[in-house]
Chains A and B, each alone.
Chain A
Amino acid sequence: MVAKQFRVRRGSTMSKFHFSRRGFVQMTFGSALSGLWSALGVQISKASSRRNTNPGNRTRLRDLGITIGRLPTGLHNAITDVEGVRVGHTTNISGSGRLIVGEGPIRTGVTAILPRSGNVYREKLPVGGFILNGNGELTGLLNTLNGGLLETPIFLTGTANVGIVYDAALTYLLQEHPEIGVTERVPVPVVGECWDSLGDIQGRHLSEDDVLRAIASAADGPVEEGAVGGGTGMRSYGFKSGIGTSSRRIPANRGGYTVGVLVNANHGSRHLLRVDGVPVGEELLRYPEDEVEKSKSIIIVAATDAPLLPIQLNRLCKRLAMGLAKTGSVSTHGSGDVFIAFSTVPRSSDENVSWTGDNGVSSLWEAASEATEEAILNALTAAPTMDGANGSIRHALPLDRLTEIMKKYNRL
Chain B
Amino acid sequence: MSTQANHIGRARERGIVIGTLPSGENNSITDVSGVHVGHESISEGEIQTGITVVSPHAVTDENALYFYGKYTDGSGGEMTGYSVMDDFGLLASPVFMANLLSVGRIYNGAITYGFIRSSGLSTSGGWPPIVMGFDDRVLNDMTARRLTEDHALKALNGASSDNAEEGNVGAGVGAVSFGFKGGIGTSSRVIERGGKTYTVGSLVLANYGSYAEFLDESEANPPENLYPSLLGVVATNAALPSPVLDTLAAGAAYGAADIGSVRKPAGSYQIVSFSTGIAVREPNRAGIYDLEFAPNVSHAELRQGAREATTEAVLSALSAATTLTGSGGRTAHSMSDEMIGKLIRVANG
Contact = CB atoms under 8 A, between A and B. Distances in A.
Interface of A: 131, 133-143, 146-149, 159-160, 162-170, 174, 178, 180-182, 185-186, 188-189, 195, 202, 204, 336, 338
B25 interface: no
Given A160-B121, A182-B143, A195-B121, A166 B83 contact: no
B271 to A, nearest CB: 12
Nearest to A143: B75
B143 A181 contact: yes
B337 interface: no
A137 B128 contact: yes
Contact of B75 (A142, A165, A180): A142
B72 A163 contact: no
Interface size class, chain B: 35 or more
Contacts of B81: 137
Nearest to A193: B128
Given A135-B88, A163-B129, A146 B83 contact: no
- The 10 residue pairs across chains A and B that have the minimum distance between CB atoms: A134-B87, A147-B75, A163-B108, A167-B104, A166-B104, A163-B107, A186-B100, A134-B83, A146-B75, A141-B82
B164 interface: no
Contact of B137 (A133, A140, A182): A182
A336 B119 CA distance: 18
B107 A166 contact: yes
B79 interface: yes
B33 interface: no
A142 B87 contact: no
B78 A163 contact: no
A186 B83 contact: no
Interface string B109-138: 111000100010101000111000101010
A149 B104 CA distance: 20
B77 A134 contact: no
Contact of A202 (B103, B104, B119, B270): B119
B23 to A, nearest CB: 31
A163 B80 CA distance: 10
Given A147-B76, A180-B143, A188 B100 contact: yes
B86 interface: yes
Contacts of A166: 103-104, 107-108
Nearest to A165: B104
B77 A142 contact: yes
Contacts of A135: 83-84, 87-88, 123
B108 A164 contact: yes
A181 B80 contact: no
Contacts of B108: 162-164, 166-167, 204
A180 B226 CA distance: 12
B302 interface: no
A140 B77 CA distance: 8
